[in-house]
């Protein structure tokens, strides 16, 4: 599995353009005829790989001082290369959530970005997906978990149905590999369940369960982690999962509000059969035990 970059040294840094990206529209046209300077390009590349990141996540990924990241993001925003929003917070202020514009994607050769400004729920959950693996990287060992691999799945997860031989695709957003002691646990991460109408959610969960129970996933304990924006959405997913055959011991759900920072370490996860929230290490231990 190709692991996404976790430090400044893992992303390419081509020669810096002598003309910095400026805030005025007039200078933008000139700036877009050359490549942004290396610091700006590095931030744009990270956004191209992860789609949506908070300013704090960019600081951790880029390995740059916070003031530098905040300043350069402000310049890139004024230049029209990134867009950003601050989702509503129940308490305090949310950090900026940042994504590429079409101009920003073009500057680093990334694919066309999604219209995140039209999907505030997706902005929160996709950034939380990155927070999940970053939390495992930075704090997982202290919680009994070690990040073994992570990859985004921009086109979902494709597999061959062992019953029919047909090619199938799950709308998974990422894949995590986590070491639980000496046991390698694999989880598919679903971060945009809010796009699935409730009437179709049961069918979607059944497809996930069918794949997770198939021989193709039998070699490694495999489960699904679902990120919802609110506790109400989480309750809806859990309610549907309780009525879906074969889902109960394979799916865990967490809400990313009010704070997604503790997804890897605190008791924020619930499985359909649970009556209380549990930590991720407990959820993954259940997934591993279920496949032994």
In order, the DSSP letters of 235-262 are: HHHHHHHHTSTT-TTTEEEEE-SS--TT
CA distance 158 to 166: 11
For residue 260, give every residue at least 6 positions away whose Cβ sits within 8 Å of its Cβ, in sequence order, or none. 124, 127, 128, 131, 132, 227
Residue owning tokens 């905040």: 70
CA distance 197 to 276: 26
Give the CATH class of 8-118: mainly alpha
Q: Read off φ and ψ for residue 260, nearest 5 degrees.
A: -95, 0
Q: Where along the chain do its domains lie?
A: 8-118, 120-290
CA distance 202 to 253: 14
Q: Whole-model pTM?
A: 0.82
Taking a C-beta distance cutoff of 8 angstroms, is the pair 250, 267 a contact?
no
Q: Over its length of 292 residues, how does the chain's per-residue pLDDT go in tens digits?
A: 545 544 443 333 333 343 444 443 334 434 444 456 789 999 999 999 999 999 999 999 999 999 999 999 999 999 999 999 988 776 667 899 999 999 999 999 998 999 999 998 899 999 999 999 999 999 999 999 999 999 998 888 877 776 677 777 888 899 999 999 888 999 999 998 888 887 788 888 877 777 777 665 556 778 889 999 989 999 999 988 887 766 767 889 999 988 788 999 999 999 988 888 999 999 999 877 765 4
| Residues 185-209 pLDDT 10s | 999 999 988 888 877 888 888 777 7
Phi-psi domain of 181 (left: phi exceeds 0; alpha: psi -120 through 50; beta: other): left
- Helices 198-213/231-242 angle, 10° precision: 60
167: three-class secondary structure by DSSP: strand
Phi-psi domain of 79 (left: phi exceeds 0; alpha: psi -120 through 50; beta: other): alpha
Query: Tokens for 42?
Result: 């590095």
- 111: how many CB neighbours lie within 10 A of its CB? 9
């Amino acid at each position: 599995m190709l692991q996404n970059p976790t430090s400044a040294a893992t992303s390419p840094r081509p020669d810096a353009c002598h003309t910095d990206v400026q805030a005025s529209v007039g200078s933008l046209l000139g700036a877009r005829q050359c490549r942004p300077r290396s610091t700006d390009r590095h931030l744009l590349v990270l956004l191209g790989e992860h789609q949506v990141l908070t300013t704090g996540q960019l600081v951790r990924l880029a390995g740059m001082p916070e003031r530098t990241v905040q300043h350069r993001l402000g310049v890139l925003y004024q230049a029209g290369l990134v867009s950003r929003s601050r989702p509503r917070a129940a308490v305090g202020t949310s950090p900026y959530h940042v994504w590429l514009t079409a101009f920003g994607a073009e500057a680093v050769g990334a694919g066309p970005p999604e219209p995140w400004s039209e999907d505030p729920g997706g902005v929160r959950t996709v950034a939380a997906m990155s927070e999940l693996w970053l939390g495992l990287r930075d704090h997982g060992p202290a919680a009994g978990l070690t990040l073994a691999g992570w990859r985004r799945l921009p086109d979902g997860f494709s597999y061959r149905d062992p019953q029919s031989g047909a090619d199938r695709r799950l709308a998974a957003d990422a894949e995590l590999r986590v070491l639980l002691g000496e046991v390698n646990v694999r989880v598919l991460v679903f971060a945009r369940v809010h796009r699935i109408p409730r009437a179709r959610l049961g069918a979607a969960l059944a497809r996930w369960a069918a794949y997770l129970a198939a021989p193709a996933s039998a070699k490694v304990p495999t489960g699904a982690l679902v990120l919802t924006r609110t506790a109400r959405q989480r309750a809806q997913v859990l309610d549907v999962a309780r009525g879906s055959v074969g889902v109960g011991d394979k799916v865990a759900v967490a809400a990313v509000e009010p704070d997604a920072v503790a997804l890897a370490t605190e008791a924020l996860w619930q499985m359909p059969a649970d009556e209380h929230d549990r930590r991720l290490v407990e959820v993954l231990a259940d997934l591993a035990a279920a496949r032994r």
